[in-house]
């Protein structure tokens, strides 16, 4: 089948790679290069970088507005001959009805819709303590992520699973789901179903200002916040007055008694070797991975040994730390 692929983020690359092997990818549409890094050098999207390395002969369209008349005409011209499907994954722009007219188009969205419509479904699944996450392949609709469901696949969320882990796992599930939908479309056996609007939840975009954790809250809340925001924007705390990113944590199953008056405050390190940290209501968080400013990410024990961390030292959390 002839495919036009719309995507920008790394989430779609496993599917694009698979489609390029088994189908005729006739065009790739992505966002324009953007400044990145301290130097602000213009950097292509992960999809554009993949295309230039792996499929340099395929037409690559970088557009800030795919519905602009000129770009819309160029995109639609890619499908003038033969059976065609448009596959949209983490593209970052809405395709208008005029652009979609007469085209079979599907979107791979990283949630079990109607739960977590929006820009950051993977993060919010962990932040809100969901037991599972997954992918949905849907048709495109006027409203965000509101299309008909064509297929879904779920994965369990582990106690130390980060948003980065879940992103990569769900990305690897994408090729099989998209291939199955394309095969069913060609066979005429698709059975779309309408989303339950009463079950919709939203996953708004996150930013650097969200990268905080309050140790006065329960350990499980802290765990979800740390893991749900890792690797980006990343939770930042202060240790010995310096910024420290906490990248992975796990809450202990048993909570102790509430903090006694005059006892150690939340954020106190209880065991430097094991990374146990006191949280609200006497609960305990275990740190697994951290990253000091300008350093590589490392296991907590390596950091603790290198910095000679001692019990009773205190992390400063909260919004002011990030």
* 171-181 tens-digit pLDDT: 999 999 999 99
Nearest to 321 by CA among 204, 220, 222: 222
pLDDT band, very low/low/confident/very high, at 322 (cuts 50, 70, 90):
confident
Pairing of strands 84-89, 2-7: parallel
pLDDT higher than 80, residue 262: no
User: Going from the N-terminus, what domains does the chain have, and what CATH number goes with each?
Assistant: 2-203 (3.40.50.170), 208-321 (3.10.25.10)
pLDDT, tens digit, 9 for 90 and up, residues 43-92: 999 999 999 999 999 999 999 999 999 999 999 998 666 668 999 999 99
Q: Given this model, what pLDDT does residue 81 score?
A: 67
pLDDT higher than 70, residue 161: yes
Burial of 94 (0-12, 13-18, 19+ CB in 10 A): middle
- Name every residue whose Cβ is closer than 8 Å to that of residue 144 and which is 6 or more positions away in sequence: 94, 117, 118
Q: Given this model, what pLDDT does residue 39 score?
A: 79
Both structure tokens of 271: 């065991």
In percent, the amount of the chain with pLDDT more than 90 equals 90
Average pLDDT for 22-38: 93
- Name residue 243's beta-bridge partners: 238
Predicted TM-score (pTM) of this structure: 0.94
- Name every residue whose Cβ is closer than 8 Å to that of residue 252 and which is 6 or more positions away in sequence: 219, 276, 283, 284, 285, 286
Q: Given this model, what pLDDT does residue 260 score?
A: 54
pLDDT band, very low/low/confident/very high, at 254 (cuts 50, 70, 90):
low
Average pLDDT for 105-113: 98
Query: C-alpha 318: how far from its chain's center?
Result: 23
Average pLDDT for 277-281: 95
Q: Given this model, what pLDDT does residue 257 score?
A: 53
Report the alpha-carbon distance of residue 18 to residue 6 in Å, rounded: 14
């Amino acid at each position: 089948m002839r495919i036009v692929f719309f995507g920008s983020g790394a989430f779609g690359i496993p599917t694009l790679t698979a489609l390029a092997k088994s189908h005729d990818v006739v065009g790739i549409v992505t966002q324009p290069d953007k400044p990145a890094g301290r130097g602000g050098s213009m950097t292509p999207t992960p999809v554009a970088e993949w295309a230039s390395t792996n499929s340099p002969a395929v037409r690559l369209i970088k557009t800030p507005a795919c519905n602009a008349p000129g770009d819309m005409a160029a995109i639609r011209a890619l499908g003038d001959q033969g059976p065609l499907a448009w596959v949209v994954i983490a593209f970052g722009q809405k395709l208008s009805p005029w652009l979609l007219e007469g085209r079979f188009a599907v979107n791979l969205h990283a949630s079990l819709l109607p739960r977590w419509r929006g820009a950051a479904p993977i993060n919010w699944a962990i932040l809100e303590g969901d037991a599972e996450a997954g992918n949905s392949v849907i048709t495109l609709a006027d409203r965000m992520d509101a299309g008909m469901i064509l297929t879904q696949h779920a994965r369990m969320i582990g106690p130390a699973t980060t948003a980065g882990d879940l992103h990569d796992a769900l990305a690897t599930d994408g090729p099989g789901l998209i291939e199955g939908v394309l095969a069913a479309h060609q066979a005429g056996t698709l059975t779309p179903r309408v989303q339950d609007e009463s079950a919709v939840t939203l996953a708004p975009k996150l930013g650097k200002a969200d990268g905080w954790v309050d140790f006065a809250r329960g350990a499980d809340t802290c765990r979800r916040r740390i893991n749900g925001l890792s690797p980006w924007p990343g939770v930042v705390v202060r240790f010995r007055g310096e910024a420290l990113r906490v990248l992975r944590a796990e809450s202990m199953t048993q909570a102790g008694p509430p903090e006694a008056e005059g006892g150690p405050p939340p954020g106190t390190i209880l065991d430097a070797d094991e990374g146990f940290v006191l949280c609200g209501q006497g609960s305990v968080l275990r740190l697994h991975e951290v990253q000091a400013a300008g350093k590589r990410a490392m296991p907590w024990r390596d950091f603790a040994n290198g910095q000679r961390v001692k019990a009773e030292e205190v992390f400063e959390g909260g919004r002011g730390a990030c």
